[in-house]
Chain A
Amino acid sequence: MSKFGWNVGHFLLPFILLVATILVFPVIATDERYYAGYYYYGYEGSSPPNGVSADIYTIDSWVTGANFYCQWSGVTLSYTYHYWIQVGYNKGWDTNFALKWYIEKNDLNGYQLYWKNSPLAHNTYHYYLHRASDQTYWRAGVSGQFEDQIYTVPYAAVDYKAFSETTTIDINIDGTHFTYISYAQGSDWRLWDQHYPRADPPYTIQEISNYEFTANGGGP
């Protein structure tokens, strides 16, 4: 190799660039969202009940790139401001592709995300959000695993949800199973007596009852 020719050093920099690209690329997350699940939505009644809960089976799907999926039960605090609180599990680039529980809220005081421990794949856990009638905070947790008290502003529910959410249709959600989806009336838990379904193609849901559904679809 001549004194003025290309040597190993010249190839080192492009190599570093390539590595940097691989490292940087995962934070270029997608804007897309695909949902499959139930809204509760009260057609009648004087005021929304005091919480939502669901048993959610933990699927362990293949996720690559800047993507994730999560399955959760949640409370809508405002549709027009896009405020909510939810508890669920997540797998994706944001959890180093491990399964992780989380509590997330977005409200007048801002956005907050609390990562928790890891659920075991192929196990079912009981997720809940409950607000006592005389309180302005939500007890958010997974039975036997963790529970936090989260203040939200506003504190009252407008609607409840139980959903599977992905950032790409390349994620397969076969095996998704939500059951015993319930609302709280005071301190009593009652199975949902109504629901409004949503499934964004290619995902589909099978509406077993007002309080149970399975979902599947997606994949490379």
Chain B
Amino acid sequence: MSRLRKIFILIIFSIGFLAMMFYISSENNLSPPYQVNKGPGPGPVKGPAPFPGVKVPFEVVVRAWSIRNITLFLPTFLPHDLKPTAAYVLIDKNGNIGNVAIFLYSNKSHDRIETAELTIEVYPAEDLPFDPKSTKGGVFTTIGGWKVYYKEEAPVTWEEYQQLYGSYARLISIYINGLNYLYRGAPPLTIQDMIKIVESMQPTKIS
């Protein structure tokens, strides 16, 4: 083999090797900066620990909160054959249900916060937690007299969510009686679907 040929083979090998290393490094999540762009939108972001709640039926939260005179509003219209799959709450040593709850809906039986198609994060708040001065884009309005903010593309940085639905969700936040309801709707849900869902919210009743 000529010297020139050997050098050529080594150069090709080198380029291939470095390209492989670059590919591997770009496929992994960097931390920090935790974010890697994979196509349009932000990539997954690692960060603090997820919600430590336990999975319970919706009725458990409705019942526990009603004892505290908290009236929970939930949607009565669900497109795309979505169905309630689980609620997540914290339960303390005495069996008390926490005042943050996450309700999940899915048409594929997704019962995890990261992967459900429709989620509603409900928590006490002083007001709608979106401020027109510091919030870029989106729409501030009212629905049924309640303050609402919505945005068609809100980044969701859970890796599992992004693998299923991409980098964005349809966000709607509605403030009702001291509780903020933060909706996350995954495509193919549209913002119009989400508005209809929010418009259908009714106080829950204990059966």
Interface residues, chain A, with chain B CB atoms under 8 Å away: 3-4, 6, 9-10, 13-14, 16-17, 20-21, 24-25, 27-31, 33, 35, 37, 39, 41-48, 68, 74, 76-82, 84, 86, 90, 94, 102, 104, 106, 108-111, 113, 133, 136-137, 151, 153-156, 158-159, 161, 163, 165, 167, 194, 196, 198
Contacts of B182 in A (CB 8 A): 78, 80-81, 154
Determine whether the beta carbon of B25 is less than 8 Å from that of A153.
no
Determine whether the beta carbon of B31 is less than 8 Å from that of A81.
no
Closest to B3 in A: A4
Closest to B178 in A: A46
CB < 8 Å A-B pair total: 186
Determine whether the beta carbon of A153 is less than 8 Å from that of B134.
yes
Contacts of A48 in B (CB 8 A): 123-125
Q: Does B146 reach chain A (CB closer than 8 Å)? A: no
Determine whether the beta carbon of A111 is less than 8 Å from that of B136.
no
Contacts of A90 in B (CB 8 A): 32
Contacts of A104 in B (CB 8 A): 32, 47
Contacts of A82 in B (CB 8 A): 45, 47, 50, 156-158
Q: Does B85 reach chain A (CB closer than 8 Å)? A: no
* A156 in contact with B125 given A24-B25, A94-B33, A108-B151 (CB within 8 Å): yes
Determine whether the beta carbon of A156 is less than 8 Å from that of B28.
no
- 27 pairs from A and B in contact (CB 8 Å cutoff): A6-B6, A17-B18, A33-B46, A41-B98, A41-B100, A44-B99, A47-B178, A48-B125, A78-B182, A80-B119, A80-B184, A82-B156, A94-B33, A106-B34, A108-B136, A108-B154, A111-B42, A111-B45, A111-B157, A113-B34, A136-B131, A136-B133, A154-B130, A156-B125, A156-B126, A156-B127, A163-B49
Min C-beta distance of A35 to chain B, whole Å: 4
Determine whether the beta carbon of A33 is less than 8 Å from that of B49.
yes
Contact with A86, one of B28, B30, B48, B131 (Cβ below 8 angstroms): B48
* A81 in contact with B184 given A41-B100, A94-B32, A158-B100 (CB within 8 Å): yes
Q: Does B192 reach chain A (CB closer than 8 Å)? A: no
Determine whether the beta carbon of B31 is less than 8 Å from that of A94.
yes
Q: Does B121 reach chain A (CB closer than 8 Å)? A: yes
Give bound CA distance, A30 to B46, whole Å.
Answer: 10
For chain B, what secondary structure do more than half of its interface residues adopt (helix, strand, loop), or is it mixed? Answer: loop
Min C-beta distance of B137 to chain A, whole Å: 9
Closest to B97 in A: A43
Determine whether the beta carbon of A156 is less than 8 Å from that of B180.
yes
Interface residues, chain B, with chain A CB atoms under 8 Å away: 1-3, 6-7, 10-11, 14, 17-18, 21-22, 24-25, 28-35, 42, 45-52, 68, 90, 92, 96-100, 102, 113, 119, 121, 123-127, 129-131, 133-136, 151, 154-159, 169, 171, 173, 178, 180, 182, 184
Give bound CA distance, A194 to B11, whole Å.
Answer: 62
Contacts of A154 in B (CB 8 A): 129-130, 173, 182
Contacts of B130 in A (CB 8 A): 153-155
* A13 in contact with B14 given A39-B52, A154-B129 (CB within 8 Å): yes
Question: With A43-B99, A137-B134 given, can you name 6 additional A-B contacts, CB distance below 8 Å?
Answer: A28-B28, A43-B98, A48-B124, A104-B47, A108-B135, A158-B121
